[in-house]
Copies of this chain bind each other. A is one copy, B any other.
């Protein structure tokens, strides 16, 4: 289904007065503190978060899955869903495909379809954590790190195939998330598993087009419950260092040990020019894949503080970053969940943009801890929702995405179109 411009305009005019009142006061307040509000709004407008194709259907846990209705069951429908999100918030202008779940039969047609919604193709994702039907060699005991050269070769070729699929669509990067690891002490020789993986990655790297990047994504555990080959940012950085300049690291917020200071990891990787991209989500315990910002919004803000610092500092030579949501919508409407996630990202980004960095630097140099905290908290406690809404308004998106989505009864229309038993391919 397609969202009409008119429906958005109608929504916006009904909310305009109330919005403007808040926005204007905020604008005044920020401007009084010498913050260039228009420049910030422009940055917010430009910030685009890719939606992964697997996030458009209901997710599940190992204990089961409670499907919702109207899920997209074809790649075309998935693109439509992202297009729909993008119409509503104008911040989801990219889609990240997962191969083999989303192999297009006609790449050009798919590319045109995406373009019709204003969507680009972000990083493509390979899958060597599951066995596909009729797959020759199993990944039960690993893919790129497998002790069996045949399984490794198959996994390497799959990744190269994924690159080709991505090229046809205009992607510029490959994300490699490995489930490889071990569940029991002794199962795997740590060093040899690392070396086998490195050798495999080198072959994939060699097949990378000159304008492409490859991201390694670390994860402490799950589905391997004792060790992971790419277990932490240190391991991920070693791979990126050994592979070369086109390789960098991808950070997923849910892939760390309890209490990890993720913002410092972000800073370390940017310092080394090796932060490639981000998988946004939130979690309380483990890789819970919850809605972004639903559990630890202050951590999200602190991460954006580092990102903004790293992206704006002339001392940091980091490649451009890829932004993506990676969540599992077990009990929410996936589209609503994604709208909430994008909103939380935009809020954190806006808050990071209004930090008084000069004053902060000064407080840091003088070890004025109280003031440094006040500066961050001042930005964080500011209600920037009207700022983000203003950016949406200017981009032709809806002032209040969730309200709009509900008022338009979009889920019901999708169910009418696709039925209650449609099922997103994938997990």
Contact of A372 among B139, B186, B220 (CB under 8 A): B186
A286-B285, A298-B298, A381-B347 given; A373·B264 CB < 8 A: no
Contact of A232 among B187, B232, B316, B427 (CB under 8 A): B232
* Alpha-carbon distance A348/B249, docked complex (angstroms): 36
* Alpha-carbon distance A265/B385, docked complex (angstroms): 32
Q: Is the CB of B360 within 8 A of A264?
A: no
Kindly provide the distance from the CB of A328 to the nearest chain B CB, expressed in whole angstroms: 8
Contact code string A212-250 (vs B, CB < 8 Å = 1, else 0)? 000000001111011100011111011000000000000
Q: Is the CB of B302 within 8 A of A373?
A: no
Interface residues of A in 311-356 (CB under 8 A from B): 313, 315-316, 328, 330-333, 336-337, 340, 347
Q: Is the CB of B191 within 8 A of A373?
A: no
Contact of A268 among B194, B298, B373, B381 (CB under 8 A): B194
- Which of A3-11, A59-67, A72-80 interfaces with chain B? A59-67
Contact of A271 among B194, B226, B237, B286 (CB under 8 A): B194
Q: Is the CB of B333 within 8 A of A284?
A: no
* Alpha-carbon distance A336/B265, docked complex (angstroms): 30
In the bound complex, residues from chain B placing their C-beta under 8 Å from that of A361 are 189
A288: Cβ under 8 A from any B Cβ? yes
* Alpha-carbon distance A226/B186, docked complex (angstroms): 28
In the bound complex, residues from chain B placing their C-beta under 8 Å from that of A64 are 129-131, 223, 427
A225-B285, A237-B234, A258-B258 given; A369·B130 CB < 8 A: no
Kindly provide the distance from the CB of A425 to the nearest chain B CB, expressed in whole angstroms: 14
Q: Is the CB of A258 within 8 A of B257?
A: yes
Q: Is the CB of A261 within 8 A of B227?
A: yes
A257-B258, A298-B296 given; A185·B60 CB < 8 A: no
Kindly provide the distance from the CB of A242 to the nearest chain B CB, expressed in whole angstroms: 10
In the bound complex, residues from chain B placing their C-beta under 8 Å from that of A302 are 185
